[in-house]
Structure 1
Amino acid sequence: MGKEYFVAVSGQPNCGKSTMFNALTGSTARVGNYPGITVDRTEGRYCSTDFCANLVDLPGTYSLTSYSMEEVVARDVIVDEKPDVVINMLDATSLERSLYLAVQFMEIGVPVVLGLNMMDEVRKKGIRIDSAKLSELMGVPVIECIARRGVGKAELMEAVKEVADRTKGKWSPVNISYGHDLDPVIEEMTALINENNFMTDRYDPHWLAVKYLEEDESVIRNGRKSGPLSEELEARVRKVSEHIQKTLNTYPEAVLADYRYGFINSILKQGVISREDDLRFDFSDKVDLVLTHKFLGPLIMLSTMYGMFYVTFNLGAIPQGWVESGFEWLSNTIASILPDGLLKSMIVSGVIDGVGAVMGFTPLILIMFSMLVFLEDLGYMARVSYMVDRVFRSFGLHGMSIMPFIMSGGLPGGCAVPGVMTCRTLRSPKERIATILTAPFMICGAKTTAYIMLVGAFYPENATTVMFCLVLLSWLLALCFGRLLRWTALRGESTPFVMELPPYRIPTLHGVAIHTWDRVWEYVKKAGTVILAISILMWALMTFPHLPEERVAAYEAQRTQVMEQSRTWAAAPEANEARLNEILARISYEEGEEALKQSYAGRLSEAISPVTDLAGFPWQANIAFIGAFAAKEVFVSTMSTAYSLGDEDPENALSLKEKIAADKAWTTPTIWSVFIFLMVYVPCMVTVAVIARETNWKWALFSVFGSLGFGYSLAVIIYQVGTALG
């Protein structure tokens, strides 16, 4: 057995860090959580013929200063777990920016190997990077890589072995000069830290002094727990901060960043980077002149969104018809085999019609997801964030709130759970909570199925336009609710927005297929587990208790009377038969509807109807809304079961859309009241649990009752005003 090493893989967001980690670890990668926090910890193992390494994929971070949970986690792994080597992946297309994190690793002293990623993109741009020169000037190995192809992974690990064997666990901090204003203060603070052994068991004294100057919250908090010297260090920081403010009109952290970038530039200017054509204009820059243009950019963004819906509804209608026909055939086949009774009703109306209604939308979800994944991998979604920043700030939210919104379903097909978790990147606690509470307003993949069903039923000729308007409406309502929160419970100024725009990259077919399949498979799994269980439960609630025997007998008497009367009809036999079937079907429908209203679900709907009648909700929607609290897909399956149980003639059964469209209870005010309430009313149970984990139960309960009150108020206004005007 060869040597064993512990290696941390680090890098800034979008540098290819996780791609290289996956290339190194392959199927050995496993995901857990860091103790006590919600940031994922991904670990894996790499083995060659003469050594093995246990790798941990650190959260993507721009620096080692505690602005976010990810940055704290990355730094704590370095400081507390002391890896033998850190692999710092760099985006070679933005080398100056990427080296900022590398310099901070060198300041802390951990042995480093630099992975110069995306070298194929660099060459396309006509840029030449002398990696040997960079290695010489930085004093660390530099390996050229193309992470998505696995190029450079063996060389990286050989460099790791060489560095680990040479350093043997010894750390060598690099001290950078920060100018005549800060260097003397840093030296004084370093001396005090050394004299008092102040946290020297954990941090390098010079690095600790620099962290105090950066006013690093985590370090200062630990320092206050460690002894009274922290007060003296903080006093020196305040004194030098006042001096810097008076003389340079800035603050120490900005000076530190300037000198770090100065250090980086002094290296790069020594022949590390050259261009084949200094006047060559980057392709991404050319495209951005159009896609992020002040006027053209938003128009292109809206056109792209509209186009996605057009393709989804028009292209997806064909395979959707195949899936629906398949479940219809299965339903009719089972109905013809099984004898009448509870088992037949449960399988046909509860399982097949309930789950089948959700599964019928799989082709549309697949098409929507594939287009969304393509845009994400292309790099366009970052441009969307950039364009809407000003709009978000005017509503009291941060520009980075766009990413949680998009992940939650800002472009339909997302999920509020990862959307809420993405809010960790927001530094302001108030902006973070406001985003967490409003992100579930977006039209997630689960809501998309419900809207596709309802829009297809009521607006089949204008489905694309209506769906497009609903998405814009979800954004508007989320922003308005965010503005209310920022005016009341979460008052405060918006913080500045800074985000990189990654270069455009044409996604690979394999990558789009894998990412799309992952999302669609989650949808299918949910339909086969959670939705199946809830569909059976809702069937039971809509089936029991049965109608009293006297009511069943009354309906049988009606049928008998009609059949007796039909013998006296004077029309042709074919006309008489058609008329008889129509009357019998109407009697069966009335019996089924009464049975549904007498069931537990019907009684519950009746109990809440004094409230929901103000919003115009049909009784079937009442039941569907209750079930959809568990998972929004249940809205579709419950509606399907409710309308299926009232249909006693499977041979002539209408589709779910046709049944809903034929129901006179669905007036235009009712339709839009339901549309808005479904959009806002309550996050699903899983999302509420995640909100509680990311904040606390107070805000989780607010997300339930606050959004419920907001959605109900809007629904009542829409229905009452619409009815009055109609």
Structure 2
Amino acid sequence: MYMTDKKTITIALAGNPNSGKTTIFNNITGSRQKIGNWPGVTVEKKEGLITRFGYDLKIVDLPGTYSLTPFSIEEIVARNFVLEESPDVVIDIIDSSNLERSLYLATQLREIDGKVLFVLNMADVARSHGTKIDAEKLSSLLDVPVVFTVGNKNEGMDDLLKEAIKLAESGPVKKEKRNVKYSKDIENAIVRIEKLIAEKVKDKIKYNPRWTAIKLLEDDKILKERFALIAKNVGPDIIDEVQLLRKNLLNLYDEDPEIVMTDERYGFITGIIKEIQTTSPKLRVDISRNIDLVLTNRFIGFPIFIFFIWAMFQLTFTVGAYPMDLIDKGVSLLSLGFERLLPESIFKDLLVNGIIAGVGSVIVFLPNILILFFCIALFEDTGYMARAAFLMDKIMHLIGLHGKSFIPMLMGFGCNVPAIMAARTLESEKDRILTILITPFMSCSAKLPVYIVLAGTFFAAKAGNVIFSLYLLGIILSIISGRLFRLTLLKGADAPFVMELPPYRMPMLKSLTIHMWDRSKMFLKKMGKVILIGSIVVWFLSSFPRNITYSKDYTLMLNNINESFKEKIVSADENDKYLLNEQKLAAIADIEKKMSLEKTEQSFMGIIGKGLSPAFKPLGIDWRGSVSLLTGVFAKEIVVSTLGVLYSTEISDDKTALANALRSSGMTPLSALSMMVFVLLYLPCLATITTIKKETASFKWTFFSITYSTVVAWMMSFIVYQGGKLLGF
């Protein structure tokens, strides 16, 4: 067996997008990383530390990449890790059903000084297509160990780890490797550059000389810049010689050297495939192709996509209403229990009207969040997410982008933070910035509680359709804004891109559940951090100063009501006593409501709200709505939390209390719709703003995003409210 004393071995998992790399990473480490089924699922490297077979294994899941010539940020991350951090073993996850594409990266990894293990994943898919692969012959041809796995069935994981450990503990890599052999003129150019490297910068560069020579001939921009810095102290001879050799090859082949070398690499790969792969007639009909005849049809594909999105929100609202009702009753009972148990004090006020009212008003929406994330996970894991991007490709071209840009935007339905980070998968800097600027218009899950409260209160049975229309409005405005930016701030030609459509796969319930729960945990963590703190701050601002001057002597008015009804109740018969007592309680409640409103209006929160009120009055939003929108800058869920706190003294113990309080405050369906539109579009939350700054590395673009989104939000809400009034709503 293996050594028992713990030694740490670093293993990097590399491979194409959709090769099953992240699934294998999760199988090995137990890590709860998101498993997707479209290009770019892994943007940053993920690590997991496990102990197996007497070793500590540090497993690094690298971003998916098609080659070691990087175009996107994720590909740069992958190559830099392999080259600069020198892992003990690089495991290349190969899609057995798509050998030609996968072996392109595999042959490049083979050219680097390092230990490489090939993993033929999705072996079951290849077999179902009638394909047999001779792993021993592949190992012999490229002098690389090879193992089979079926990632989604957790098969072959132990074999993979054992082989990786064995490879890590083996001797140095052979210097004479079975690499791609190019035509004579290209090989001569490679040898010439290798010789110059050995003579002039051998001790200054740690990359494999042959690999370096190949990349310089291919005009790899990043390596060229890095190499120029290394070689500058020994004169420009090498770079000049490379340019001369490239020019000679261009004249000889009438093609750029990188194109010729790519063709010859694929020729080498074709030869390998002929040796190792045998294909019999397909054992089954190509199900993915048949499904795509419907789902990506040029006429009905887009309506089907819109239907799926509509169904997702109908499901979120209607099915989520039942568990939401149970949680709401639980929160009401908890609030009532503390109300009766604790004596009157500031602590009781904080707990009941601050923490429980604030956090409780948001946590009731957990079922809706779970359903939304389950649907998004279903789109990703089945392979439909890539089809959605494909369907949106023509529309995205209207704003100078392509379908791949729509993937981060779709991710925005869950959370804008990872959605903006996913823009790293785009090769063009202008495309990345453009996608980042329009992604916040995609309505994230944090805004869903606001929609459910307002749409559920004022639109009842049509709430699902109203919420769907808001999401659709966000998509439309993002496209219009993108077109505007492309014509003005971010001019540029369309970036060419071929969208990969992975085969449809049966989703794994475990994967769907993990994905759904991991995303929802973020929502729950907010309960214990941002929402809790926000609720306490809102309670403080709405409860202080404590000593205020009322416009009327409410104490005297309450005493008069008690005295007035006291005499009537004493002289009344039993039937009338009940009615009189109800009238008394209603009169007292009305006075207390007026007291509460005056108290809140004279609080710090009221002062802030009255200051904001002129800006929001044309939108039909009162001062309490204005304050809620302000607190929503920290996290959009706090909008509901703030409403819960501000209306807490008007809320009774049933689930319709907040809805009744909103109606009695003077809010109308039109003003509620205006507020929902504003929430949809106005400046992102702090976490998203921070991410925009990080991803653009620019205060200018961050400030522009904040300003532009807020201006658009105000204008659209103004149009909705004032236009609705003109139309008689």
Which amino acid counterpart does residue 716 of structure 2 have in structure 1?
A: L
Classify 1:82/1:712 alpha carbon distance in 2 versus 1 (closer, same or farther; 3 Å): same
Match of 1:197 in 2: 201
Shift of 1:232: 0.5
Classify 1:6/1:643 alpha carbon distance in 2 versus 1 (closer, same or farther; 3 Å): closer
Match of 1:401 in 2: 405
2:216, 2:242 within 8 Å by CA — same for their partners in 1?
yes
Q: Deviations for 1:431-481, whole angstroms, at most 9, x for unmatched residues?
A: 101111221221111111111111111111111211111111111112222
Match of 2:390 in 1: 386
Task: Name the SS of the counterpart of 1:529 in structure 2.
Answer: helix
Distance 1:27 1:704 in 2: 35
Aligned residues: 705
Residue in structure 1 matching 2:77, options 70, 73, 85: 73
Distance 1:526 1:497 in 2: 38
Match of 1:600 in 2: 604
Match of 2:14 in 1: 10
Is residue 115 from structure 1 mapped to residue 114 from structure 2 by the alignment?
no
Distance 2:103 2:212 in 1: 21
Distance 2:653 2:11 in 1: 65
Classify 1:667/1:48 alpha carbon distance in 2 versus 1 (closer, same or farther; 3 Å): closer
Distance 1:597 1:438 in 2: 37
1:374, 1:507 within 8 Å by CA — same for their partners in 2?
yes
Classify 1:588/1:421 alpha carbon distance in 2 versus 1 (closer, same or farther; 3 Å): same
Match of 2:475 in 1: 475
Of 584-593 and 157-166, more deviation after overlay is shown by 157-166
2:400, 2:495 within 8 Å by CA — same for their partners in 1?
no
Is residue 546 from structure 1 mapped to residue 550 from structure 2 by the alignment?
no
2:49, 2:56 within 8 Å by CA — same for their partners in 1?
no
Structure-2-length-normalised TM-score:
0.90
Task: Name the SS of the counterpart of 1:367 in structure 2.
Answer: helix
Task: Name the SS of the counterpart of 2:66 in structure 1.
Answer: coil
Higher relative contact order (CA 8 A, sep 6+): 2
2:332, 2:653 within 8 Å by CA — same for their partners in 1?
no
Task: Name the SS of the counterpart of 2:49 in structure 1.
Answer: strand
Classify 1:538/1:230 alpha carbon distance in 2 versus 1 (closer, same or farther; 3 Å): farther
Task: Name the SS of the counterpart of 1:417 in structure 2.
Answer: helix
Which amino acid counterpart does residue 618 of structure 2 have in structure 1?
A: L
Match of 2:323 in 1: 319
Match of 2:100 in 1: 96
Distance 2:408 2:656 in 1: 39
Of 298-307 and 533-542, more deviation after overlay is shown by 298-307
Which amino acid counterpart does residue 522 of structure 2 have in structure 1?
A: E
Q: Deviations for 1:206-247, whole angstroms, at most 9, x for unmatched residues?
A: 322221233222111112212223540453366258537xx6
Is residue 269 from structure 1 mapped to residue 279 from structure 2 by the alignment?
no
1:398, 1:497 within 8 Å by CA — same for their partners in 2?
yes
Distance 1:122 1:195 in 2: 47
Q: Deviations for 1:168-210, whole angstroms, at most 9, x for unmatched residues?
A: 2455454424446644443443343333336763223332222
Unaligned runs of 5+ in 1: 30-37
Is residue 352 from structure 1 mapped to residue 351 from structure 2 by the alignment?
no
1:437, 1:703 within 8 Å by CA — same for their partners in 2?
yes
Shift of 1:45: 4.1
Match of 2:40 in 1: none
Distance 1:390 1:134 in 2: 41
Q: Deviations for 1:650-691, whole angstroms, at most 9, x for unmatched residues?
A: 4689521232234323351x2232122111111111111122
Distance 1:158 1:112 in 2: 14
1:385, 1:399 within 8 Å by CA — same for their partners in 2?
yes
Distance 2:123 2:653 in 1: 63
1:110, 1:173 within 8 Å by CA — same for their partners in 2?
no
Q: Deviations for 1:227-282, whole angstroms, at most 9, x for unmatched residues?
A: 223540453366258537xx65x53333322222221111112351312x258542
Distance 1:581 1:237 in 2: 95
Match of 1:586 in 2: 590
Task: Name the SS of the counterpart of 1:269 in structure 2.
Answer: helix
2:558, 2:591 within 8 Å by CA — same for their partners in 1?
yes
Is residue 531 from structure 1 mapped to residue 535 from structure 2 by the alignment?
no
Shift of 1:327: 0.8
Which amino acid counterpart does residue 543 of structure 1 have in structure 2?
A: S
Q: Deviations for 1:677-712, whole angstroms, at most 9, x for unmatched residues?
A: 111111111111122121223322222222222222
Match of 1:715 in 2: 717
Match of 1:661 in 2: 663
Classify 1:172/1:302 alpha carbon distance in 2 versus 1 (closer, same or farther; 3 Å): farther
Is residue 518 from structure 1 mapped to residue 518 from structure 2 by the alignment?
yes
Task: Name the SS of the counterpart of 2:319 in structure 1.
Answer: helix
Classify 1:389/1:549 alpha carbon distance in 2 versus 1 (closer, same or farther; 3 Å): same
Task: Name the SS of the counterpart of 1:9 in structure 2.
Answer: strand
Shift of 1:550: 5.0
2:250, 2:257 within 8 Å by CA — same for their partners in 1?
no
Of 349-358 and 164-173, more deviation after overlay is shown by 164-173
Distance 1:45 1:233 in 2: 48
2:12, 2:62 within 8 Å by CA — same for their partners in 1?
yes
Is residue 495 from structure 1 mapped to residue 499 from structure 2 by the alignment?
no
Distance 1:660 1:199 in 2: 74
2:197, 2:238 within 8 Å by CA — same for their partners in 1?
no
Task: Name the SS of the counterpart of 2:275 in structure 1.
Answer: coil
Match of 1:309 in 2: 313
Task: Name the SS of the counterpart of 1:108 in structure 2.
Answer: coil
Task: Name the SS of the counterpart of 1:392 in structure 2.
Answer: helix
Match of 1:676 in 2: 677
Of 680-689 and 486-495, more deviation after overlay is shown by 486-495
2:458, 2:669 within 8 Å by CA — same for their partners in 1?
no
Distance 1:612 1:156 in 2: 61
Of 716-725 and 93-102, more deviation after overlay is shown by 716-725
Distance 1:667 1:77 in 2: 55
Is residue 141 from structure 1 mapped to residue 145 from structure 2 by the alignment?
yes
Distance 2:553 2:245 in 1: 88
Residue in structure 2 matching 1:56, options 34, 42, 60: 60
Which amino acid counterpart does residue 672 of structure 1 have in structure 2?
A: L
Which amino acid counterpart does residue 62 of structure 1 have in structure 2?
A: Y
Residue in structure 1 matching 2:247, options 239, 242, 250: 239
Classify 1:171/1:436 alpha carbon distance in 2 versus 1 (closer, same or farther; 3 Å): farther
Distance 1:434 1:338 in 2: 54
Match of 1:463 in 2: 463
Shift of 1:582: 2.9
Shift of 1:40: 3.4
Which amino acid counterpart does residue 554 of structure 1 have in structure 2?
A: D
Shift of 1:88: 0.7
Distance 1:27 1:361 in 2: 27
Which amino acid counterpart does residue 159 of structure 1 have in structure 2?
A: E
Of 630-639 and 257-266, more deviation after overlay is shown by 257-266
Is residue 374 from structure 1 mapped to residue 378 from structure 2 by the alignment?
yes
Shift of 1:328: 0.9
Task: Name the SS of the counterpart of 1:496 in structure 2.
Answer: coil
Shift of 1:43: 4.5
Of 297-306 and 337-346, more deviation after overlay is shown by 337-346
Distance 1:372 1:24 in 2: 25
Match of 2:695 in 1: 694
1:614, 1:716 within 8 Å by CA — same for their partners in 2?
yes
Distance 1:618 1:182 in 2: 73
Considering only aligned residues, what root-mean-square deviation do their CA atoms show, in Å?
2.7
Task: Name the SS of the counterpart of 2:502 in structure 1.
Answer: coil
2:193, 2:238 within 8 Å by CA — same for their partners in 1?
no
Of 109-118 and 278-287, more deviation after overlay is shown by 278-287
Distance 1:525 1:459 in 2: 30
Is residue 611 from structure 1 mapped to residue 612 from structure 2 by the alignment?
no
Match of 2:38 in 1: none
1:284, 1:503 within 8 Å by CA — same for their partners in 2?
yes
Distance 1:140 1:179 in 2: 24
Shift of 1:355: 0.8
Q: Deviations for 1:587-631, whole angstroms, at most 9, x for unmatched residues?
A: 222221111111111111111222222222121111111111111
Task: Name the SS of the counterpart of 1:505 in structure 2.
Answer: coil
Task: Name the SS of the counterpart of 1:270 in structure 2.
Answer: helix
1:220, 1:230 within 8 Å by CA — same for their partners in 2?
no
